[in-house]
């Protein structure tokens, strides 16, 4: 499983990686961190035909410098059909603004909204849902 965390808070990277590690059961599983959403978008665009290089799940913060999560989602939406793999995106944010949550509904790739600080039960819920289980099943079939 290949997980991408896009967040400008290095502490959030550390905490999430510690909580995600139990879900990484294959030696090639990895967690990639970035504080630059633009770099990740470019990586996805370059590798859009190579499903093995693309993330299985993206955890995305909304409020970041350089490129915020909203800009990432807009650009991702434009290239999404060119990507050979469906990539579920989970928003991680400290915003409790109901307008943010409503606005996210227009992005089909966004599967859920996780309030910061991210907790182990919140991540367990993601891995207990169909999205993560389907990804793991696909990997087990290979």
pLDDT tens figures, 57-112: 999 999 998 899 999 999 999 999 999 999 999 999 998 899 998 999 999 999 99
The CATH code of domain 2-141 reads 3.40.50.2300
61-65, 75-79, 113-117, 134-138: least confident range: 134-138
Give the phi and the psi of residue 112 in degrees, each rounded to 5. Answer: -165, 170
108-125: b (≥16 Cβ within 10 Å) or e: ebbbebbebebeeebbee
pTM above 0.75, yes or no: yes
Q: How many CB atoms lie within 10 A of CB 82?
A: 10
Whether residue 138 is predicted with pLDDT greater than 50 in this model: the reply is no
- Residue 46 makes CB contacts below 8 A (sequence gap 6+) with none
* Interatomic CA distance for residues 37 and 6, integer angstroms: 6
């Amino acid at each position: 499983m290949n997980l991408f965390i896009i967040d400008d808070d290095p502490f959030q990277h550390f905490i999430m990686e510690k909580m995600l590690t139990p879900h990484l059961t294959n030696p090639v599983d990895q967690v990639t961190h970035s504080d630059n959403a633009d770099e990740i978008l470019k990586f996805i665009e370059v590798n859009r035909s190579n499903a093995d290089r693309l993330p299985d799940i993206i955890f995305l913060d909304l409020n970041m410098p350089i490129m915020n999560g909203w800009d990432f989602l807009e650009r991702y939406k434009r290239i999404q059909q060119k990507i050979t793999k469906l990539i579920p995106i989970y928003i991680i944010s400290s915003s409790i603004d109901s307008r943010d949550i409503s606005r996210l509904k227009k992005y089909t790739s966004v599967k859920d909204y996780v309030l910061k600080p991210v907790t182990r039960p919140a991540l367990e819920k993601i891995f207990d849902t169909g999205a993560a289980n389907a990804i793991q099943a696909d990997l087990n079939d290979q």
